Chain A
Amino acid sequence: MKKRSPKAMGAIALILTAALTVTACGKSGGAAEGTAEKPVNLIWYTIGAPQKDTDKVMAEVNKYTAEKIGATVTLKQIDFGDYNQKMGVMTASGEPMDILFTSSWAFDYVQNARKGAFLAIDDLLKSDGKGIVDTLDPAFLEGSKVDGHNYGIPANKELPAQTVYRFNKQNLDKLGLDYKNVKTLEDLEPILKANKEKNPGVLGLKMDNNFTPFVPYDYIIQGLPMAVALDGDNSKIVNVLDTPEMKQALTTMNKYYKAGYISPEAATTTSTGDVEKTGKWLIDLATTQPLADNTWSASLGYPIESTPAGPSIIYNWSVMGSMQAISANSEYPEKAMQFLNLLNTDAKLRNMVDSGIEGTHYKMTGDNRMENLPESKNYDMPTFSLGNVMLTYLNPGDPDNKWDEFKKFNDEGKNAPTLGFNFDTSKVANEIAALQNVKAEVWAPLMTGTVDPAGYLPRANEKLKAAGLDKIIAEAQAQLDAWKASKK
């Protein structure tokens, strides 16, 4: 064995070198590629359930894009629940791809940009993405910069986020009460009380284990307790569980829980889909967009009305709600940018990718209006995830001024205090991992009112501190101060 080992080592070294040269040489290609005759193929990963007719639609899309920019695309979809994990592994292992979906809530944009998964596109935007720069509200590209660079193209859609209380109208009407004066969580009490008495079997406040009552704070990382106040002193990062607003909200939630307005199993409920189907609920919390009441009523099948629970604010996470990025290992970054540019500016391409083939999946009913045909069930894409939403044709029932409403909504949003600031967690990665665990332990019981904050909150804060919350806040504060200083 000893005699043979140098040889074996040699063989391994040879294989490794060969693998390296192969990967290193992967980029050399023909010179005349990227024309209508010889288009290059782009691999595009995006979120959503794979559709039956994808290949059929893409064949049509490719005819169009080959002609326009000399590129074709292969669209691959990964379902919502798997996207984060599968894309994490695929980007880390260097799976060939050119364009990929990323966001603040699935395959985290900021962290993966820092890990090197995406190509910085500042120059490409100037050379091949002029249309995007002209179309997008500047807040989108400004708000999605990571360490001063753009790594993704946000979809042009609603920019701010606003939390609302949604009311199930059919149940509310039975109570003869009005929601118009509801401004705070506490204002809901008389309605919930009446519901408990008069509507047996109807759940008062519907929520799952991700529920967080609205408090006027801007979270540094979604779902973790570091936050900056929206009003007042917004230069200090605090533990949101230590704030008077959150303490009051949790006390109210616990009161509601004890009174039976909340499902006793809220803290372990992962989805409220079945309650939504039965319609046996009265109030819940949601993030709104223009004409949302119509959309909700249509998708749930019963009338929904809503009233704001807080102001309309442009957060980092709302800006990054839906983005397409170019992969770091893309072989044709220029073509990828040209494709994204076309997707965000060309109504024909955008609607083809979104709704399929005209005459097969949808028909036009006006200049800018369409109606789905029965075949559309074989090509049902998540519209928000595929670039500029404001290019899509209107559906039956949409008002003519739909996109004007969106623009108005975007103009009215106020910037969050940390818009454009992204916390680099690499120095506190261990503390973040520990904090995630404590958060998973204490968050849902507190937020759903399952536990009494009087006794539980101090213990929860102690655990968060033991996990290193103070160190994380100090690090975030230092970065925030440096960022603020650099902006002046």
Chain B
Amino acid sequence: MKGLAGFFRDLGRNKAILLMVLPGALWFLIFSYIPMAGTILAFKEYRISRHGFLRSVLDSDWVGLSNFKFLFSTSDAWVITRNTLLYNIVFIVLGLIASVAMAIVLSEIVNKRLSKLYQTGMFLPYFLSWVIVGYFAFSFLSLDKGLLNQILSSIGIDPVNWYNNPAYWPFILVFISLWKGIGYNSVVYLASIMGIDRSLYEAAMIDGANKWQQIRNVTIPMLKPLMTILTLLAIGKIFYADFGLFYQVPRDSGTLYSVTNVIDTYVYRGLKTTGEFGMVTAAGLYQSFVGFTLVLLSNWVVRRFDKDNSLF
């Protein structure tokens, strides 16, 4: 009983901070923890019972792991896993480099008004839906009316049928993904740079450090904790592909599947007509399980080298 009293004393002492945590905690409880019970659907063949949802879940037959089979049993399994992983690794690495670089450049702009203008300009694509981005891309890449092909033909090069040529798409997708996401991430880093104690730079300047040396020896080391945390979080999502990017932007063109088919689009195409909830749940569970394992693993690696920067 003593433990309980201590618990309430703790509550009273920290009530302001706990109150701040409450909305977020509730959100996680309702949208993340309670739905976790639904993962049992991954092991069932879901059939509707006339007595409501709970009875449907309970009455459906157990089928073991057979809902997972469609993710592994085909020739596409290798392609979708490779595409999902490679694209996400590239996005994580390039995204990190590009947004940190952008943040540093933005922080060095003396004119505050211009700096804000650039920030806003870079941030804007983040708010666009993938459907709109898809049409943006189409206005550039359309075979007969696209801007790129008109430029190409005006300088005497044959127009390219972009949506039928897988070779270009890894580059197009990486470019569009960076273009859309970089603004958001660089603002996060920019905020962190703004928080760096100015006296560190003054001390560096007195020691005779030039701009480049200041960045290398002050800014980047100060950003390292944030970089580690954001990267670790990104690794947790490495098995989730951005559906809109891989489905809307290539206009679902069949000839591009070898470079655009990822786990999420595969699941969507395979199940949109049958709508087997068990198989959909299985795919989601598989993605989270791999993500979870990878976060634990990379966190463990980070902790081996630098205990302070690890997540937990």
A interface list, Cβ under 8 A from B? 3, 16, 19-20, 23-24, 26, 84-85, 88, 91-94, 108, 111, 115-117, 119, 209, 223, 264-265, 267-268, 328-329, 425-426, 429-430, 432-434, 436-438, 440-445, 450-451, 463, 466-468
Partner of A329, one of B45, B50, B257: B50
Q: A436, B48: Cβ atoms under 8 Å?
A: no
Query: B74 contacts the other chain (Cβ, under 8 Å)?
Result: yes
Q: B55, A23: Cβ atoms under 8 Å?
A: yes
**Chain B, Cβ-Cβ closest to A328:** B50
Q: Can you show 12 pairs from A to B with CB atoms below 8 A apart? A: A20-B54, A24-B51, A92-B46, A94-B49, A264-B144, A264-B161, A267-B164, A328-B50, A329-B48, A430-B70, A433-B276, A440-B252
Query: B307 contacts the other chain (Cβ, under 8 Å)?
Result: no
Q: A433, B143: Cβ atoms under 8 Å?
A: no
Q: B45, A264: Cβ atoms under 8 Å?
A: no
Q: A267, B73: Cβ atoms under 8 Å?
A: no
Q: How far is the CB of B3 from chain A (nearest CB, A)?
A: 8
A115 to B277, CA, bound (A): 11
Instruction: Given contacts A94-B51, A437-B269, A441-B255, list 10 more A-B pairs with CB under 8 A.
Output: A92-B48, A92-B53, A116-B48, A264-B161, A268-B252, A329-B48, A432-B270, A432-B274, A436-B274, A445-B255
Which residues on the B side are within 8 Å of A115 (C-beta)?
46-48
**Chain A, Cβ-Cβ closest to B277:** A92
Q: A466, B279: Cβ atoms under 8 Å?
A: no
Q: A434, B55: Cβ atoms under 8 Å?
A: no
Instruction: From known contacts A23-B54, A429-B274, infer whether A467 and B255 are also in contact, taking CB-CB under 8 Å.
Output: no
A268 to B249, CA, bound (A): 11
Q: B270, A436: Cβ atoms under 8 Å?
A: yes
Query: B32 contacts the other chain (Cβ, under 8 Å)?
Result: no
B142-194 residues at the A interface, CB under 8 angstroms: 142-144, 161, 163-164
**Chain B, Cβ-Cβ closest to A467:** B74
A209 to B270, CA, bound (A): 17
A360 to B308, CA, bound (A): 73
Q: Which 7 pairs across A and B sit closest by C-beta, in order of nearness?
A: A433-B270, A23-B52, A116-B48, A430-B70, A434-B74, A94-B53, A94-B52
Query: B275 contacts the other chain (Cβ, under 8 Å)?
Result: yes
Q: How far is the CB of B255 from chain A (nearest CB, A)?
A: 5
Instruction: From known contacts A20-B55, A429-B279, infer whether A437 and B50 are also in contact, taking CB-CB under 8 Å.
Output: no
Q: B53, A430: Cβ atoms under 8 Å?
A: no
Partner of B48, one of A264, A265, A328: A328
B interface list, Cβ under 8 A from A? 3, 45-56, 66, 69-70, 73-76, 142-144, 161, 163-164, 251-255, 257, 261, 266, 269-277, 279
Which residues on the A side are within 8 Å of B279 (C-beta)?
429-430, 433
Which residues on the B side are within 8 Å of A437 (C-beta)?
74, 76, 257, 261, 266, 269-270
Instruction: From known contacts A115-B47, A115-B48, infer whether A440 and B254 are also in contact, taking CB-CB under 8 Å.
Output: yes
**Chain B, Cβ-Cβ closest to A331:** B50
Q: A329, B254: Cβ atoms under 8 Å?
A: no
Instruction: From known contacts A429-B70, A437-B269, A445-B254, infer whether A467 and B75 are also in contact, taking CB-CB under 8 Å.
Output: yes
Partner of A265, one of B51, B163, B269: B163
**Chain A, Cβ-Cβ closest to B266:** A437
Partner of B255, one of A20, A116, A429, A451: A451
A301 to B75, CA, bound (A): 48
A3 to B274, CA, bound (A): 46
Instruction: From known contacts A116-B48, A328-B48, A443-B254, infer whether A438 and B54 are also in contact, taking CB-CB under 8 Å.
Output: no
Which residues on the B side are within 8 Å of A429 (C-beta)?
70, 274, 276, 279
Q: How far is the CB of A263 from chain B (nearest CB, A)?
A: 9
A358 to B118, CA, bound (A): 60
Q: B45, A426: Cβ atoms under 8 Å?
A: yes
Q: How far is the CB of A56 from chain B (nearest CB, A)?
A: 33
Which residues on the A side are within 8 Å of B274 (C-beta)?
108, 111, 425, 429, 432-433, 436
Which residues on the B side are within 8 Å of A436 (C-beta)?
269-274
A23 to B49, CA, bound (A): 11
**Chain B, Cβ-Cβ closest to A329:** B50
**Chain B, Cβ-Cβ closest to A446:** B254
Q: How far is the CB of B97 from chain A (nearest CB, A)?
A: 33
Q: B271, A433: Cβ atoms under 8 Å?
A: yes
Partner of A108, one of B70, B251, B273: B273
**Chain B, Cβ-Cβ closest to A333:** B50
**Chain A, Cβ-Cβ closest to B260:** A441
Q: B47, A450: Cβ atoms under 8 Å?
A: no
Q: A268, B50: Cβ atoms under 8 Å?
A: no
**Chain B, Cβ-Cβ closest to A223:** B273
Partner of A92, one of B56, B70, B73: B56
Q: A433, B70: Cβ atoms under 8 Å?
A: yes
Which residues on the B side are within 8 Å of A88 (C-beta)?
275
Which residues on the B side are within 8 Å of A432 (C-beta)?
270, 274
**Chain A, Cβ-Cβ closest to B46:** A92
Q: B54, A16: Cβ atoms under 8 Å?
A: yes
Q: How far is the CB of A18 from chain B (nearest CB, A)?
A: 11
